[in-house]
A and B are shown apart, each in its own frame.
Chain A
Amino acid sequence: MSGPKSIPSRALSEPRWVRFLLIGTALVFLGFFLFLPLVLVFHEAFKDGVAVYLAAIREPVALAAVRLTLLVAFIAVPINFLFGLAAAWAISKFRFRGKNMLITLIDLPFAVSPVISGVMFVLLFGAHGFFGPWLQSHDLRVIFAVPGIVLATMFVTSPMVARELIPLMQAQGSDEEEAALTLGASGWQTFFKVSLPKIRWGLLYGVVLCNARAMGEFGAVSVVSGHVRGLTNTMPLHIEILYNEYQFSAAFAVASLLALLALVTLAIKSAIEWRTGRR
């Protein structure tokens, strides 16, 4: 079997004990940093029984927070979906100068601390901000109100869809679109029949991530919200208030809903990866 020139197998892979040691260390690390927090959220949420859990979620203030979180995501995600699609389309199908600059610009909100994202909107629309006096004279409120929360969330999540689509569409090129156009298809026909089917999984992935971030955003929203219970509290802010009031079971009950959202997000992500054969 093994000729004189064959390579001893121990030179191509690690000894058994090394493999076990590496796997073990990795699992212990992930266990402490990933699984423990996740398990703890559900453990603490149900610690005082299902009745307490349901009461915490059914509380009017909690329901208001859930509604506001859904509303914010409902506005921010579709707009960023359109933006991501337009941006990825512009970058992958056209040639122009400054393209790399534009990609950097799209990524920019990722590099900005969430708190600073909130500060920017306070400087724009706050009482002492650039548009503050004008808004006040027209009796409009942006900061410490829902519009500010939506704007801050939109800023923070704006790169999510674009980021997923740009590499995908750049890799696919535009040969098929050109073929469709040559065969007489209109621009919109080409888009819906040729381009969209090619990117639908990437698009879905981007939307799912964008949604998770929009519903879970904390820092930016915390700056602009003003924490008015039942009015400007999103779920993460509601969790903060409950936790700081030592209502731990209630805090973790609401947190468990967001943790569930995270698990669903991961499940969809894995399903998409499995479908598209990325792994």
Chain B
Amino acid sequence: MALGFTLLYLGLMVMIPLSTVFLKTATMTWTAFWAAVSGPRALAAYRLSLGASLIAAAINVVFGLLVAWVLERYSFPGRRLIDAFVDLPFALPTAVAGIALATIYAKNGWVGRWLEPLGIQVAYTPLGVVVALTFIGLPFVVRTVQPVLTDLDPEVEEAAASLGAGRWQTFRRVILPELVPAATTGFVLAFARALGEYGSVIFIAGNMPMRSEITPLLIMIKLEQYDYAGATAIAMVFLIASFALLFLVNFLAWRRNRRLRAGEEAG
């Protein structure tokens, strides 16, 4: 019964809605589809979405590793509170994050006013998109890396040290390789989330066609102009990319589990 309900619900709530995108696309001619998904405005939107998401995910790998390390390895006042706060981007509605970031980085904002004299503009530029996407992707790498750091056997580090490795060498040669699979998963998760993000971005992006217009916004605009076919075609391209990422995440998790299990059996 539980399985029946699960399948029924998934069918009604997930499969049927999803299939509409494919069915709608199927009614288009190939030339119309191609024209919709490869116009210069669409290409510019893909470029921005892909580029900004990649940069934001990369920033999150570097700082995610750092934050996870600091939270797991060092003790300092407020550590537990900060640990709890890392999930804020999951809990804070994206529209709230969006207007807050736009206000902070605007010309007269708390941060924007210090960047303005340096000639750096964040709000209403592609840089603003990166800032918003960094915010919403922040918890992913921290949360995937933390458990690995906790489970890391201290004896391995001691062994490396007793064999004469310096601290930096131990980190680079012994600890870091253990963290790479988790950090990769975190990177892909943050990237996938950033790719589809809408709410936090549109307030800070400025939304200029060809310059600071992300792909989800372009879909929205096409829809508001009643260009349903055009919106669906771009959505289709985006869905395929997202599903590829989802399968990549599941594949990475499966491979990590298999390696862990192989490790347990061998040890």
Listed in ascending order, the chain A residues whose CB lies under 8 Å from chain B are 5, 7-8, 10-15, 19, 22-23, 25-27, 29-30, 32-38, 40-41, 44, 82-83, 85-87, 89-90, 93-94, 96, 100, 102-117, 119-124, 126, 128-130, 151, 154-155, 158, 209, 212, 215-219, 222-223, 235-237, 239-240, 243, 248, 251-252, 255, 258-259, 261-263, 265-267, 269-270, 279
Does B38 reach chain A (CB closer than 8 Å)? no
- A82 closest partner in B (C-beta): B5
Nearest-Cβ distance from residue B105 to partner chain A, whole angstroms: 10
Nearest-Cβ distance from residue B74 to partner chain A, whole angstroms: 6
Interface of B is mostly: helix
Alpha-carbon distance between A154 and B14 when the two chains are bound, in angstroms: 10
Instruction: State whether A40 touches B100 (Cβ < 8 A).
Output: yes
Chain B residues with CB under 8 Å of A10's CB are 167
Instruction: State whether B228 touches A128 (Cβ < 8 A).
Output: yes
With A218-B93, A255-B100 known as contacts, the answer to whether A83 contacts B198 (CB < 8 A) is: no
Does B138 reach chain A (CB closer than 8 Å)? yes
Chain B residues with CB under 8 Å of A126's CB are 228
Count of B interface residues, CB-CB < 8 Å: 87
With A5-B162, A262-B92 known as contacts, the answer to whether A115 contacts B196 (CB < 8 A) is: yes
Instruction: State whether B6 touches A90 (Cβ < 8 A).
Output: yes
- A114 closest partner in B (C-beta): B198
Alpha-carbon distance between A87 and B14 when the two chains are bound, in angstroms: 14
Does B216 reach chain A (CB closer than 8 Å)? yes
- A to B CB contacts below 8 Å, 17 in the list: A14-B167, A27-B82, A34-B89, A90-B6, A96-B3, A107-B246, A122-B223, A130-B23, A212-B90, A216-B96, A219-B94, A239-B95, A258-B95, A258-B96, A262-B91, A263-B91, A266-B88
Q: Per-residue 0/1 for B162-184: is the Cβ within 8 Å of any A Cβ (1 yes, 0 no)?
A: 10011100100000000000000
Alpha-carbon distance between A108 and B238 when the two chains are bound, in angstroms: 13
With A36-B111, A239-B99 known as contacts, the answer to whether A154 contacts B13 (CB < 8 A) is: yes
Chain B residues with CB under 8 Å of A29's CB are 63, 66-67
Chain A residues with CB under 8 Å of B199's CB are 114, 218-219, 222, 236
Q: Which of B1-34 contact A (CB under 8 A)?
A: 1-3, 5-6, 9-10, 13-18, 20-21, 23-24
Nearest-Cβ distance from residue B1 to partner chain A, whole angstroms: 8
Nearest-Cβ distance from residue A236 to partner chain B, whole angstroms: 4
Instruction: State whether B223 touches A35 (Cβ < 8 A).
Output: no
- A271 closest partner in B (C-beta): B84
With A158-B13, A266-B84 known as contacts, the answer to whether A111 contacts B246 (CB < 8 A) is: yes
Chain B residues with CB under 8 Å of A154's CB are 13
Instruction: State whether B170 touches A11 (Cβ < 8 A).
Output: yes
Alpha-carbon distance between A15 and B85 when the two chains are bound, in angstroms: 27
Interface of A is mostly: helix
With A216-B93, A239-B95 known as contacts, the answer to whether A155 contacts B157 (CB < 8 A) is: no
With A10-B167, A216-B93, A269-B84 known as contacts, the answer to whether A86 contacts B238 (CB < 8 A) is: no
- A101 closest partner in B (C-beta): B250
Chain A residues with CB under 8 Å of B166's CB are 11
Across the A-B interface, the 5 shortest Cβ-Cβ residue pairs? A216-B93, A113-B196, A218-B199, A219-B198, A11-B161
- A257 closest partner in B (C-beta): B96
With A104-B247, A269-B84 known as contacts, the answer to whether A112 contacts B216 (CB < 8 A) is: no
Instruction: State whether B88 touches A34 (Cβ < 8 A).
Output: yes
Alpha-carbon distance between A73 and B114 when the two chains are bound, in angstroms: 41
